[in-house]
Amino acid sequence: MKKNSSRFCLYAFLLLAVSFSKAQSILPPVIDWHGKSESLIAKASDPWITTAEKTNFNSTPGYAETMDWFKKLTSASPLLKMVSIGKTVEGRTIYMIIASTEKIKTAVSLQKSGKPLFLAQAGIHSGEIDGKDAGMMLLRDIAMGNKKSLIDKVNFLFIPILNADGHERSSPYNRPNQRGPQNMGWRTNAQNLNLNRDYAKLDTREIRSVINVINEYNPSLYMDIHVTDGADYQYDITFGGLGKQGYSVNIGDWLENQFKPFVDKSLQDKGHIPGPLLNAFNERDFSEGNIIVTGGPRFSDSYGDLRHMPSILVENHSLKPYKQRVLGTYVLLESTLQFLAIQGKSIRKLTDMDKSFRADSLPMEWKVPQMKNRISIDSKTSEQNNLAPAPDSIRFLGIASTLQQSSVTHSGYVEWQGKPVSMNIANYLSTEAFQFVKRPKGYWVPAACEEVINRLALHGIQMTTIAQPREEKVSMYRINEYQFGNENGEAKPFEGRMQVNATTTAEMHTQLFPAGSVFISTDQPLGDLAMLLLEPSSKDSYFSWGFFNAVFQRTEYMEAYVIQPMAKKMLEDSPALQKEFEEKKAKDAKFANDPFAILTWFYSKTKYYDERYLLYPVGRAM
Ligand SMILES: [Zn+2]
């Protein structure tokens, strides 16, 4: 039986390999790579050799095989512990490995140790799985090899597969722009939700699990490991923090000027080509420059920045061979541990500075100074061709390309030539903050907004729940114009939610908040996060994500036989109203010819009108 099944496995493997090589042959030419990091690969005789190493990085282990391997490794070493941090909707356990010389490996005791703590996660987009295979090798070398000293002064948390359900939707055809491994997981989770759009709204169990880990362990540095798509270039490992594009000035500076140069050097020493985060402005090649925009707290790196937690986004280059990418990720993880051992204290100090800073007003948006409007990462609309030149530029290690004319679409497309070229290119960064909102003392969220209150609490935002009803003088937003739909202006849901974009006017109210309502002070480390989650003009607020869509519903009305005579009497009683009515009709022909609109207008001027209609129910304490 065993023999037959292993023969079947071999056939399946060969079949997969053939279809995989067919799928991969459409990719641009590969540049042959060798580096010192190849010496990290375990010998064939090593009992702890990983599947990726065994298959010369053609294959990556499935969920069950990965977790079985980690169970064995962690039970064989007192330095490691494997814990569950949650379960997916399909019932898979999301595991985390704790690597520490502390005997008791709990959140409390790790914090007590005073050592810096590094949290790295792989497989948020599970087809981009380099981090998992790199982490397996590194943890093996820490536990069984000669890398134990890496955790002498640092505690290390590693999530090998965050999107465990997506990881098991495996196929050679999941990521057409990526060079290996041959079995790749799927981008979204089992609910077809993109986990890296869920950090603000918290719809998924996977991201809720990560937020719990962040709140319990309080990492000194958080790293989210991806593989990019897009244009070809020489860099294999690109990574960075938000720099000047965010809410943590001191952390941003440290990541850019201390952390990145150190890790870049380690990568170069081992034969890799580290680079900054890259995205071709014209989506084709880098001739018109690089553009990196702040995505907002729906993304891991922007979320981390907003809660003042040093956060690094890693984007390995999809066209580099899997072996090169995994080895580069190993070096990246290893040198991050080395750097934290040296700099742990100073990063804690800078983090505390950012956590205790309270800006008088906070921008809801960031844009590229040379551009008129904000552009979003998910939006395909850009202001191509009418962009002012960027004042700064970067030396860019590119790949030569030619423009081909398509016989299918009769449009131009880029063909990569596989030859290294270097050039200076414009570098556009969204460093200009705008749409500032004055920081309120705090927010009153009524008990009826139970779901939003629960999610704010999940983020770790401190709040006080009132046991008795309480009247408060607050500023509230009245909604004026509004539009449902995604940021491309299409009237369809995004990430399973009907978003809304609205303009508002602030009004003062004396509002009764029932028992169970909460007060959230903005004078707390997560005060900035609370603002971006509760201000309706923030694209990642619960309002914008559609959690308050019930306020768009008017539930009472007046029969015509009631409002008609009432309107007549209102006009007779008030010459001022008469004047306002005549002016409105003269200005607005559509209104003048719409009896229903006219009656609604009169209704809105009576005491019977629903005062809460189009009123955002969260109060701002000023
Ligand atoms: Zn990704």
Which residues line ion ligand 1, judged by CB < 5 Å? 125, 128, 226
Residue 227 Cα, ligand 1 centroid: separation in angstroms?
A: 6
Residue 229 Cα, ligand 1 centroid: separation in angstroms?
A: 8
Residue that wins the pLDDT comparison between 294 and 528: 528
Residue 75 Cα, ligand 1 centroid: separation in angstroms?
A: 31
Residue 139 Cα, ligand 1 centroid: separation in angstroms?
A: 23
**pLDDT greater than 90 at residue 242:** yes
Cross-strand partners of 482: 502
Token pair recorded at residue 494: 């995004």
Computed over every residue of the chain, the mean pLDDT equals 93
- Please report the pLDDT score of residue 276 as a whole number: 95
Q: What percent of the chain has pLDDT over 90?
A: 81
- Nearest one of 377, 58, 419 to 230, comparing CA atoms: 377
Asked if 554 contacts 610 with a C-beta cutoff of 8 angstroms, the reply is: yes
Convert the pLDDT of each residue in 379-431 to its tens digit.
644 555 456 666 778 999 999 999 888 889 988 888 999 999 999 999 999 99
Convert the pLDDT of each residue in 499-509 to its tens digit.
999 999 999 99
Residue 9 Cα, ligand 1 centroid: separation in angstroms?
A: 30
Residue 604 Cα, ligand 1 centroid: separation in angstroms?
A: 49
**Confidence band (pLDDT; 50, 70, 90) for 371?**
confident
**Confidence band (pLDDT; 50, 70, 90) for 35?**
very high
Residue 123 Cα, ligand 1 centroid: separation in angstroms?
A: 8
Q: What percent of the chain has pLDDT over 70?
A: 93
Q: What is the mean pLDDT of residues 294-301?
A: 95
Q: What is the DSSP string of 535-579?
A: -TTSTTSTTTTTTTGGGG-------HHHHHHHHHHHHHH-HHHHH
- Please report the pLDDT score of residue 2 as a whole number: 41
Convert the pLDDT of each residue in 151-161 to its tens digit.
999 999 999 99
Q: What is the mean pLDDT of residues 442-454?
A: 98
**Confidence band (pLDDT; 50, 70, 90) for 5?**
very low
CA 230 to CA 23: how far, in whole Å? 17
**Confidence band (pLDDT; 50, 70, 90) for 17?**
low
Q: What is the mean pLDDT of residues 111-134?
A: 97
**First and final CA of the chain: distance in angstroms?**
74
Q: What is the mean pLDDT of residues 279-301?
A: 89
| Count of all residues that appear for the chain in the document | 622
**Confidence band (pLDDT; 50, 70, 90) for 24?**
low
- Please report the pLDDT score of residue 4 as a whole number: 43
Token pair recorded at residue 436: 């500032």
Residue 313 Cα, ligand 1 centroid: separation in angstroms?
A: 9
Residue 535 Cα, ligand 1 centroid: separation in angstroms?
A: 28
Q: Which residue has the tokens 């109203």?
A: 577
pTM of the prediction?
Answer: 0.92
- Please report the pLDDT score of residue 176 as a whole number: 85
CA 135 to CA 141: how far, in whole Å? 10
CA 234 to CA 278: how far, in whole Å? 11
Number of neighbouring beta carbons within 10 Å of residue 26 = 8
**pLDDT greater than 90 at residue 57:** yes
Residue that wins the pLDDT comparison between 293 and 452: 452
- Please report the pLDDT score of residue 384 as a whole number: 52
Q: Report the phi/psi class of residue 619: left, alpha or beta, with left for phi > 0 and alpha for psi in -120 to 50.
A: beta
Residue 207 Cα, ligand 1 centroid: separation in angstroms?
A: 14
- Please report the pLDDT score of residue 1 as a whole number: 42
Residue 226 Cα, ligand 1 centroid: separation in angstroms?
A: 4
Poorest-pLDDT segment among 369-378, 448-457, 485-494: 369-378
Poorest-pLDDT segment among 7-21, 46-60, 160-174, 350-364: 7-21
DSSP 8-state symbol, 220: S
CA 62 to CA 185: how far, in whole Å? 9
- Please report the pLDDT score of residue 18 as a whole number: 53
Residue 356 Cα, ligand 1 centroid: separation in angstroms?
A: 32
Segment 596-599 long-range contacts (CB within 8 Å, at least 24 positions apart) = 598/567, 599/558, 599/560, 599/563, 599/564, 599/567
Residue 380 Cα, ligand 1 centroid: separation in angstroms?
A: 17
Residue 228 Cα, ligand 1 centroid: separation in angstroms?
A: 6
Residue 510 Cα, ligand 1 centroid: separation in angstroms?
A: 46
Asked if 591 contacts 585 with a C-beta cutoff of 8 angstroms, the reply is: yes
CA 280 to CA 582: how far, in whole Å? 55
Residue 183 Cα, ligand 1 centroid: separation in angstroms?
A: 16
Number of neighbouring beta carbons within 10 Å of residue 3 = 7
Residue 458 Cα, ligand 1 centroid: separation in angstroms?
A: 24
Residue 375 Cα, ligand 1 centroid: separation in angstroms?
A: 19
Q: What is the mean pLDDT of residues 466-486?
A: 97
Residue 240 Cα, ligand 1 centroid: separation in angstroms?
A: 14
3 state DSSP class of 606: coil
CA 609 to CA 253: how far, in whole Å? 53
Q: What is the mean pLDDT of residues 150-174?
A: 96
**Confidence band (pLDDT; 50, 70, 90) for 582?**
very high
Q: What is the mean pLDDT of residues 355-359?
A: 97
**pLDDT greater than 90 at residue 65:** yes
Q: How large is the angle between the packed helices 527-534 and 450-458, nearest 10 degrees? A: 150
- Please report the pLDDT score of residue 557 as a whole number: 86
Residue 195 Cα, ligand 1 centroid: separation in angstroms?
A: 9
Residue 539 Cα, ligand 1 centroid: separation in angstroms?
A: 21
Residue 231 Cα, ligand 1 centroid: separation in angstroms?
A: 15
Residue 538 Cα, ligand 1 centroid: separation in angstroms?
A: 24
**pLDDT greater than 70 at residue 479:** yes
Residue 90 Cα, ligand 1 centroid: separation in angstroms?
A: 21
Poorest-pLDDT segment among 128-137, 320-329, 391-400: 391-400
Q: Which residue has the tokens 């109210």?
A: 509
Number of neighbouring beta carbons within 10 Å of residue 73 = 20
Name the percent of the chain in helix, strand, coil, to the closest 5: 35, 25, 40
- Please report the pLDDT score of residue 3 as a whole number: 41
Residue 515 Cα, ligand 1 centroid: separation in angstroms?
A: 43
Q: Which residues contact 183 (CB under 8 A, 6 or more apart)?
A: 16, 59, 60, 62, 170, 171, 172
* Mode of pairing for the β-strands spanning 412-429 and 290-292: parallel
Residue 244 Cα, ligand 1 centroid: separation in angstroms?
A: 22
Cα distances (angstroms) measured from residue 309 to each of 119, 250, 280, 551: 11, 11, 28, 34
Residue 20 Cα, ligand 1 centroid: separation in angstroms?
A: 21
**pLDDT greater than 60 at residue 448:** yes
